[in-house]
Homo-oligomer: A and B are copies of this chain.
């Protein structure tokens, strides 16, 4: 392992962080970075660097890196572009192990001066073995260390979890983070790659493959100069942890506007999809779908087969789920005789007792509801369970009693739900069930069914890779 890769651990787990360009002026990014670090709960040493200040947000400020006596593991750089080569030389001299370079104005400005600066700082970082996140990035967050090394303090509001998001766009990182708060997705890391001085998707895959905090790797990809580097890295690590990707740029106009090779993007988009498939990366088609799938992969075992049971407290959501399951290639199985006998025992004769089961007629009989769910969980033909329950005041008791069963469920199969209620009612109960790993919840039956579909697609992708072609 080369020095740069060896230093990735310190980059994400520093004992001390210097903010080069720290500021107490809210109009400066150096202010927001200091706020992210200090309010985000980081427990290591925070060292603001600014020759024109003595103290920032209660932390002693230093004129330069060399003025601080102790070691610095991570440098977050927010000074103007033209000052960055000097700062990088200081970092190398100080023995800084990793850099987050927020400053923009390098290669992306399509100006020879920017390109030259880019080459200059790359040479300094590479020769010192310093991995650099950026330039032109919001930064990165390591939730397991409460390290918010970004200019957005609100990333620290996210839930700690096992999904690592690696994104080529700062805007989409913010989008996915704020959507993730609403969907209650837990993140291990969020990394804005920016213009990828020397840390690209492939370096991140290598690092995250060994990261015990990360269970699922979610990528947002726009366009990269060397897609094969990503695909080769994915092939190396594929199917050890799920890798999923959302790729934009299929539109011709986006292609033209982004000054890429005009007219060639659509073809390249297909190249990406094919390459991703070979690399064991599941390609998804939207920001919500990327998060939905990451949440399922982080919270569930993979289904052993395509067999799905649909249990619904009301018939309509069950029908919506059936439509999606069939479209996704899942099999709405016929229950075993034993399961069917158990259900027949618990529901009146005229109810829909076969799959999909309408549990409505037993709505006031929580023992019956619990019994049905239990019988279906134990049926070998069932590889995944979809459970839909729409809140009504009149059915609260039945549902709350089912929670006890679900809490005890060891999660040998995916249990994906849409348990929906007015905001503030049941939210905490459902979150509790998610937190103990009993289920994974979605805001609609269609999205719940889509998540099961993607679990199964990912399982098949990896099975095909293992089988000789």
A residues at B contact (CB < 8 Å): 27, 29, 32, 35, 109-111, 138, 151-154, 157, 167-175, 177-179, 181-182, 220, 222, 248-254, 257-259, 286-288, 312-320, 322-323, 325-327, 332, 350, 352, 354-356, 360, 364, 388, 390-394, 418, 420-423, 425, 443-447
Contacts of A443 in B (CB 8 A): 179, 182, 288
Q: Which residue of B lies closest to A249 (CB)?
A: B319
Q: Please list 18 pairs of residues, one from A and one from B, whose beta carbons are closer than 8 Å in the complex, sorted by A's number.
A: A154-B392, A169-B315, A170-B314, A171-B360, A172-B316, A174-B314, A174-B390, A174-B391, A181-B422, A222-B315, A248-B322, A250-B323, A251-B322, A251-B327, A253-B322, A253-B356, A258-B315, A288-B446
Known A319-B222, A322-B253, A393-B154: A421·B178 in contact at CB below 8 Å = yes
Say whether B175 contacts A35, CB under 8 Å. no
Say whether A420 contacts B350, CB under 8 Å. no
Our pick among B109, B182, B257 for the contact of A423 (Cβ within 8 Å) is: B182
Contacts of A390 in B (CB 8 A): 171-172, 174-175, 178
Contacts of A182 in B (CB 8 A): 182, 423, 443
Known A392-B138, A444-B286: A174·B420 in contact at CB below 8 Å = yes
Contacts of A446 in B (CB 8 A): 286-288
Q: Which residue of B lies closest to A287 (CB)?
A: B444
| Least Cβ–Cβ distance between A274 and chain B, in angstroms | 18
Say whether B354 contacts A257, CB under 8 Å. yes
| Least Cβ–Cβ distance between A190 and chain B, in angstroms | 13
Say whether A394 contacts B179, CB under 8 Å. no
In the docked arrangement, what's the CA distance between A321 and B447, Å?
Answer: 20
Say whether B174 contacts A392, CB under 8 Å. yes
Known A151-B393, A152-B394, A390-B174: A316·B445 in contact at CB below 8 Å = no
In the docked arrangement, what's the CA distance between A226 and B157, Å?
Answer: 52
* Interface pairs A-B: 5 shortest CB-CB: A171-B314, A169-B316, A172-B316, A174-B390, A254-B322
| Least Cβ–Cβ distance between A296 and chain B, in angstroms | 17
Contacts of A177 in B (CB 8 A): 422
Contacts of A251 in B (CB 8 A): 319, 322-323, 325-327, 332
In the docked arrangement, what's the CA distance between A249 and B318, Å?
Answer: 10
In the docked arrangement, what's the CA distance between A322 and B316, Å?
Answer: 34
Say whether B250 contacts A320, CB under 8 Å. no
Point out which of A222, A313, A320 has the most chain B C-beta atoms below 10 A from its C-beta.
A320
In the docked arrangement, what's the CA distance between A418 and B175, Å?
Answer: 9
Our pick among B29, B314, B356 for the contact of A394 (Cβ within 8 Å) is: B29
